[in-house]
Chain A
């Protein structure tokens, strides 16, 4: 057991991170409010538009992200035990799965562009209804903002893995850093867990 000061420092750092994550939830909360408003204003059109999304790809991406969260959780456990290899392996696995998510998301955007579903790449007349257009606008903004978060997360995970591997972060003292990045990654995951049903499944 470490002495009191580092554990105090750890609690302080984690509290800061939790507050930051609270602000992230409020950021996406605005988009969830928009989703609710669209559903209330145009229930049929939104449900019809939602049916045209590729929920299979969304489901596969959900699996990828949930698995990556498991990998991060294992990396945190390994870091607390001071195991460098285990930590690096967990972080890299999570980063890899995150990249997989981004690749699938990009492929999905590609399909949607070909099917004339994705706003900014599709003329307004091609949509089934104005409300369907709005729903796809929301889909694009929400998933793109989430993808930005995934990209940042992948960069953080990979950078952390590199520094742990090079021993510039000494374990287990630097375990808090792994835990903080892990928390961020879990949040990115949790937001997707809400985005996926709201966009793809609730019809």
Chain B
């Protein structure tokens, strides 16, 4: 009768570990990324507990340095960068463009194994030995002074870089080569555009980090001194190379989230995305301009004043395509028939937090102001608003939106709404005080601080505990829904897009016959094929 879904096609462990099905690989990534998210979160909890009082309580100075390095390294390379592309990108890109799989399915599985190898190795290195350089590995600290496993950590991040490169390469080729008949570039879902833009950065920026880490390891092993001022080398050169990767990497983390929000907003408003071509083009513009702004991390590092002025201008310019997206989402919502479902609440929370993060980014991009707040908690708050408030909210939004598709089960909408609200409140309580702390002069990475900062630190730590619990909440009711949730129909939200035309969960080969597309995307309104009452729980 009906075809077996991808979940029912083999139940053995081997059928999962040797799968080349993009949907199963997405689930493998989802499980491992969730694991790393909680590891990184645990390190954040240690940091926030220690900062409750001005004196060190929990950790030694070096232990504190190791905790924030662990938090940064795990969250950046093992959660944020792979989060949306490797789970939802893997699951959805072939479905959205009408393909049966990615262009290179075996390479896709290999990427996951490389990711796991790099991840577990990093975890072992960071927990057993520890690295105290921060996730930025700045020289000469990392090359000459840091004790701990810098070389091993660099090796592990070098390894996981290959996973990024192979995944990005796979997505680019898939989008170019495997679109179904009629799926022109102008009809691609905006999520696919954003994954495509992300993949360009993954392929072109990651190798620069790889070679930089090779040079760090060579300096520690053989005394190769290109970053060592004592030998005539230049530590600023390290910062150039590092940020040439790491600033575009910020866009690796946030571009997929922007794509998710475009999908969520148009479904919630039951309207086509306003200005489709501008939203799609702005993803590419962000990817390109994102390669030209790295110098804004070095305004106070002794970079030439003229270079700083150019980088400052370009950093302000990158806000334009981001602004286009925010305005177009707002215009999409205008006169929409908005349903306050959990994915939409996460999307709203994303937009608000992304705007705060973006606007404070403009403050930091201005040369004179940056001197005052550079390397303070202001910067910490700014990038957490983008990375955590933005990307993590979008990640949870995507999880709620596509959960019925991925698992074939409804989720309890009331609990979904509650967790969106708790995450939003907990997040703001954690990070808003940090803007004030930073403006008042609290430097980042300090473990001991003047007593007058304590109130704000306590507020922030209190927010972190709310946030931590709020992050646990979705995993409990989503797990519950796997067994007790109602079976989800193919198109529960009433959304457009090819992924909603196949059963939930999708069959192993996605489509019986490859679909043909004969119109523009986002032709709303679409009736959801479910009675909404049944969904409440």
Which residues of A approach B to under 8 Å, CB–CB? 8, 11-12, 15-16, 19-20, 22-24, 26-31, 33-34, 37-38, 41-42, 119-120, 124, 129-131, 133-134, 137-138, 140-141, 145
Choose among B173, B208, B218, B237 the residue that contacts A26 (Cβ–Cβ < 8 A).
Answer: B208
CB–CB B218/A141 < 8 A: yes
CB–CB B237/A34 < 8 A: yes
Q: Please, how many angstroms separate the alpha-carbon atoms of A26 and B206 in the complex?
A: 8
* A29: chain B residues within 8 A (beta carbon): 207-208, 211
* A34: chain B residues within 8 A (beta carbon): 215, 226, 237, 241
CB–CB B104/A16 < 8 A: yes
Choose among A28, A41, A120, A129 the residue that contacts B234 (Cβ–Cβ < 8 A).
Answer: A41
Task: Pull 12 A–B residue pairs with CB atoms less than 8 Å apart, ordered by A.
Answer: A15-B172, A16-B104, A16-B173, A23-B204, A26-B204, A26-B205, A29-B208, A30-B208, A30-B211, A119-B223, A134-B225, A141-B214
Q: Please, how many angstroms separate the alpha-carbon atoms of A15 and B176 in the complex?
A: 9
CB–CB A137/B204 < 8 A: no
Whether A16 touches B224, Cβ cut-off 8 Å, given contacts A23-B204, A23-B206, is no
CB within 8 Å of A: which of B149-174? Answer: 165, 168-170, 172-173
Instruction: Look across to chain B and name the residue whose beta carbon is closest to the beta carbon of A32.
Output: B211
Across chains A and B, which 7 residue pairs bring their CB atoms closest together, nearest first?
A: A30-B211, A27-B207, A130-B232, A137-B224, A26-B207, A120-B222, A19-B169
* B173: chain A residues within 8 A (beta carbon): 12, 15-16, 19
CB–CB B234/A8 < 8 A: no
Q: Please, how many angstroms separate the alpha-carbon atoms of A33 and B227 in the complex?
A: 13
Instruction: Look across to chain B and name the residue whose beta carbon is closest to the beta carbon of A144.
Output: B218
Instruction: Look across to chain A and name the residue whose beta carbon is closest to the beta carbon of B222.
Output: A120
- B80 at interface, CB cutoff 8 A: no
Choose among B165, B169, B214, B226 the residue that contacts A38 (Cβ–Cβ < 8 A).
Answer: B226
- B277 at interface, CB cutoff 8 A: no
Q: Please, how many angstroms separate the alpha-carbon atoms of A28 and B107 in the complex?
A: 23
Within the complex, the shortest CB–CB distance from A155 to chain B, in Å, comes to: 18
* B206: chain A residues within 8 A (beta carbon): 23, 26
* B177: chain A residues within 8 A (beta carbon): 8, 11-12, 15
Instruction: Look across to chain B and name the residue whose beta carbon is closest to the beta carbon of A19.
Output: B169
* B233: chain A residues within 8 A (beta carbon): 134
Within the complex, the shortest CB–CB distance from B215 to chain A, in Å, comes to: 7
Within the complex, the shortest CB–CB distance from A141 to chain B, in Å, comes to: 6
> What's the dominant secondary structure at chain B's contact region?
helix
Choose among A12, A24, A31, A133 the residue that contacts B231 (Cβ–Cβ < 8 A).
Answer: A133
CB–CB B165/A23 < 8 A: yes
- B445 at interface, CB cutoff 8 A: no
CB within 8 Å of A: which of B302-350? Answer: none
* B244: chain A residues within 8 A (beta carbon): 30
- B496 at interface, CB cutoff 8 A: no
Choose among B107, B208, B225 the residue that contacts A27 (Cβ–Cβ < 8 A).
Answer: B208
Within the complex, the shortest CB–CB distance from B231 to chain A, in Å, comes to: 5
* B178: chain A residues within 8 A (beta carbon): 12
Instruction: Look across to chain B and name the residue whose beta carbon is closest to the beta carbon of A40.
Output: B234
CB–CB B232/A30 < 8 A: no
- B247 at interface, CB cutoff 8 A: no
Instruction: Look across to chain A and name the residue whose beta carbon is closest to the beta carbon of B240.
Output: A33
Instruction: Look across to chain A and name the residue whose beta carbon is closest to the beta carbon of B206.
Output: A23
- B210 at interface, CB cutoff 8 A: yes
- B212 at interface, CB cutoff 8 A: yes
Within the complex, the shortest CB–CB distance from A169 to chain B, in Å, comes to: 17
Whether A22 touches B212, Cβ cut-off 8 Å, given contacts A131-B232, A138-B226, is no
- B464 at interface, CB cutoff 8 A: no
* A30: chain B residues within 8 A (beta carbon): 207-208, 210-212, 215, 241, 244
* B203: chain A residues within 8 A (beta carbon): 19, 22-23
* B210: chain A residues within 8 A (beta carbon): 27, 30
Q: Please, how many angstroms separate the alpha-carbon atoms of A128 and B104 in the complex?
A: 51
* B212: chain A residues within 8 A (beta carbon): 30
- B103 at interface, CB cutoff 8 A: yes
* A124: chain B residues within 8 A (beta carbon): 223, 231
* A131: chain B residues within 8 A (beta carbon): 232
Q: Please, how many angstroms separate the alpha-carbon atoms of A22 and B212 in the complex?
A: 17
* B207: chain A residues within 8 A (beta carbon): 23-24, 26-27, 29-30
Q: Please, how many angstroms separate the alpha-carbon atoms of A138 and B244 in the complex?
A: 19
CB–CB B172/A19 < 8 A: yes
Q: Which of A24, A38, A130, A137 has the most CB of B within 10 A?
A: A137
Known pairs A16-B169, A22-B204, A27-B211. 20 more at Cβ < 8 A? A15-B176, A16-B104, A16-B107, A19-B173, A26-B205, A26-B207, A34-B215, A34-B237, A34-B241, A37-B226, A119-B222, A120-B222, A129-B232, A130-B231, A134-B226, A134-B232, A137-B223, A137-B226, A141-B218, A145-B214
* A15: chain B residues within 8 A (beta carbon): 172-173, 176-177
* B232: chain A residues within 8 A (beta carbon): 41-42, 129-131, 133-134
CB within 8 Å of A: which of B93-116? Answer: 103-104, 107
Within the complex, the shortest CB–CB distance from A176 to chain B, in Å, comes to: 13
Q: Please, how many angstroms separate the alpha-carbon atoms of A188 and B169 in the complex?
A: 19
Within the complex, the shortest CB–CB distance from B85 to chain A, in Å, comes to: 15
Within the complex, the shortest CB–CB distance from A43 to chain B, in Å, comes to: 13
Instruction: Look across to chain B and name the residue whose beta carbon is closest to the beta carbon of A15.
Output: B173
CB–CB B215/A141 < 8 A: yes
CB–CB A120/B223 < 8 A: yes
Whether A12 touches B204, Cβ cut-off 8 Å, given contacts A131-B232, A134-B231, A141-B215, is no
Q: Please, how many angstroms separate the alpha-carbon atoms of A131 and B204 in the complex?
A: 30
* B222: chain A residues within 8 A (beta carbon): 119-120, 137, 140
Choose among A19, A22, A23, A37 the residue that contacts B237 (Cβ–Cβ < 8 A).
Answer: A37
Q: Please, how many angstroms separate the alpha-carbon atoms of A33 and B234 in the complex?
A: 12
Within the complex, the shortest CB–CB distance from A29 to chain B, in Å, comes to: 7
Instruction: Look across to chain B and name the residue whose beta carbon is closest to the beta carbon of A38.
Output: B226
Choose among A8, A20, A41 the residue that contacts B165 (Cβ–Cβ < 8 A).
Answer: A20
Within the complex, the shortest CB–CB distance from B72 to chain A, in Å, comes to: 22
Within the complex, the shortest CB–CB distance from A58 to chain B, in Å, comes to: 21
CB–CB A137/B165 < 8 A: no
Q: Which of A30, A31, A120, A140 has the most CB of B within 10 A?
A: A30
Q: Please, how many angstroms separate the alpha-carbon atoms of A129 and B237 in the complex?
A: 20
Q: Please, how many angstroms separate the alpha-carbon atoms of A129 and B234 in the complex?
A: 16
Q: Please, how many angstroms separate the alpha-carbon atoms of A138 and B211 in the complex?
A: 12
* A37: chain B residues within 8 A (beta carbon): 226, 234, 237
* B165: chain A residues within 8 A (beta carbon): 20, 23
